[in-house]
Amino acid sequence: MTEVTPLVEFRGIARRYGEGDAEVRALDGVDLAIAAGEFVAVMGPSGSGKSTAMNIIGCLDTPTAGEYLFDGVSVSGLDRDARTILRRSFLGFVFQGFNLLPRTSAQENVELPLVYRGVGAAERTALAREALARVGLQGREHHVPSALSGGQQQRVAIARAIVTDPMLLLADEPTGNLDTRTSEEIMALLTELNTERGITVVMVTHEPDIAAFAHRTIRFKDGRVDSDTATARAA
């Protein structure tokens, strides 16, 4: 096995909240490496530290101790704006609750990350249309979230996450609010993005069925990595 720089690397990452007796160790010395192109499922009971790990990977949170290397570069000490620039340059987010802006069209929702990157209006429109087409929503550009089904809303959210062409897609229970059939469609879409576009996907899930779409499953327990196994791919 050749040494390749992992896309995500945790070196003794700890995250503690509070002080003294009230101290909570959400993460307690985690070492982890995720290579570019992987499709990783993160599992674990609530309070196991998986959400904290996701927040740190997503540069929404910073570790109390340890070092986080993104594509070989330490990002632990970055300030808020620097982390935001990192996020909008290299990361895409998909949430359980979709988190689309209400009363705002699908097109505009997808354009939003581009607006903050300062992309011009014409280019934005084109990129957003392309992203929406990629997730199978052509013709629905002007629908507002409330006029779309849950699956369609999650597709809009995925389009928003990939419109900036990110290296890493972070999905926090992307199928948590969806029925089985829609969940499988969404997972198929994520798998396509992983295999065809080479986007690294890290996904939190509770469901083994969903985790089965990933190549690798990392289980957290009490702030540490409990197990890290290659997954037999779903048929």
Partner 1 sequence: MLWETLLLAVRTIRRNTLRSFLTVLGIVIGVAAVIAMVTVGNGATAKITSELSSMGNNLLFARPGQMGPGAPSSSARSFTLADADAIRADVGGILAVAPVSQKSVAVVAGSESRTVGLVGTNADYLTTQAWSVSSGRNFTESEARAGRSVCLIGETVRQELFGTADPVGQTIRVKNIACPVVGLLVERGESTVGSDRDDTVIMPLRAFQRRIAGTTTVDTILISARDGVDTGKVQAAVEDLLRERRDILAGDDDDFSVRDMRQLVQTMTATTTILTGLLGAVAAVSLVVGGIGIMNIMLVSVTERTREIGIRLAIGALEHQVLTQFLVEAVVLSLFGGLIGILTGLSLAYGTARLLSVPFIVDPTIVALAFAFSALVGVAFGFFPARRAARLDPIEALRHE
Q: Which residues would be at the binding site for partner 1 (CB under 8 A)?
A: 55, 58, 60-61, 80-81, 84-85, 87-88, 93, 95, 99-103, 112-113, 115-118, 121, 160, 164
Indicate the residue among 32 and 100 with the shorter CB distance to partner 1: 100
Indicate the residue among 33 and 75 with the shorter CB distance to partner 1: 75
H-helix or E-strand spanning residue 77:
none
Distances (CA, A) of 1 to 79, 87, 126, 232: 35, 30, 41, 20
Angle at CA 67, nearest 5°, toward 6 and 61?
A: 100
Contact 43, 211 (CB under 8 A): yes
Indicate the residue among 143 and 215 with the shorter CB distance to partner 1: 143
Contact 51, 106 (CB under 8 A): no
Q: State in angstroms the smallest separation of the CB of 205 from partner 1.
A: 18
Q: State in angstroms the smallest separation of the CB of 90 from partner 1.
A: 11
Q: State in angstroms the smallest separation of the CB of 118 from partner 1.
A: 6
The amino acid occupying position 49 is G
* Separation of alpha carbons 218 and 234, rounded Å: 17
Indicate the residue among 53 and 217 with the shorter CB distance to partner 1: 53
Q: State in angstroms the smallest separation of the CB of 25 from partner 1.
A: 18
